[in-house]
Amino acid sequence: MPFESAYLSVPERVELMNFRYRNHAAIPVLGATLSDPFIGKIALVSSFGAESVVLLHLVSLIKPDTPVIMIDTEMLFPETLDYQAEVADRLNLTDVRIIRAPSKTVAEVDPDGTLHQSDPDACCALRKTEPLQATLEEFDGWITGRKRYQNGQRKDLDLFEVDTDHRFKINPLAHWRQQDLTTYMENNALPRHPLVAKGYPSIGCAPCTSPVAAGEDPRSGRWRGQDKVECGIHFGADGTVVRG
């Protein structure tokens, strides 16, 4: 960790970074994040979902060797896996890391692959949260694609926020609107996830994602009919799952 931050807690660092970059737009924030020694070792965590290509493209322009972490739950749509390979190749991302839960652990906890039906939170913890948290141990912070327009607790999203007592998150697209993303993808001729055209504006695991009708919230197809709105990889400062 850089000397400047050695004596600062994560909340203190986050407060300082939000002040330091308060007037910066997404691209300068991302550029500074990937070059500022004060910030430390950073990874981008990407689902390679419906809007992921915007942030992936920005990173490819600024620092294409940035570690990009994708969680393969082994329940993803085949289209997502194909899209990941296409985007990584097209954008020349040179350090994409596909992570999975240990097969032994999955066999012990979810031997028949039906845990998502009885306890979706436990399934997400097994296949997403725990593998990601283990992988992020080597990093000082990680970049997410969350935005304020996604509502819930995201409506007050800062550019920087506390993740754990030794790690923080960076949300360079926090202030972007849906139209900003669409315009950026069109202007840069970026490939869209093939399921978007089939009515999937938010894409997760195949068993827990359904098409969205016109006028519905874009995330309404995630865990439809269940009291669940997040996979659990985003936590508040107190360690609780951030819903919304």
Going by C-alpha positions, the residue among 83, 63, 62 that lies closest to residue 72 is: 83
Q: Where do we find the tokens 């490939």?
A: 191
Catalogue the active-site residues: 231
What gap in Å lies between CA 237 and CA 242, rounded to an integer? Answer: 9
What gap in Å lies between CA 31 and CA 222, rounded to an integer? Answer: 32
Sequence-ordered list of residues with C-beta below 8 angstroms from that of 45, at least 6 positions apart, any chain: 68, 69, 70, 71, 132, 136, 142, 143, 144, 233
Residue 174 burial by CB count (10 A; 0-12/13-18/19+): exposed, middle or buried? buried
Instruction: Reduce the DSSP state of residue 139 to 3 states and report it.
Output: coil
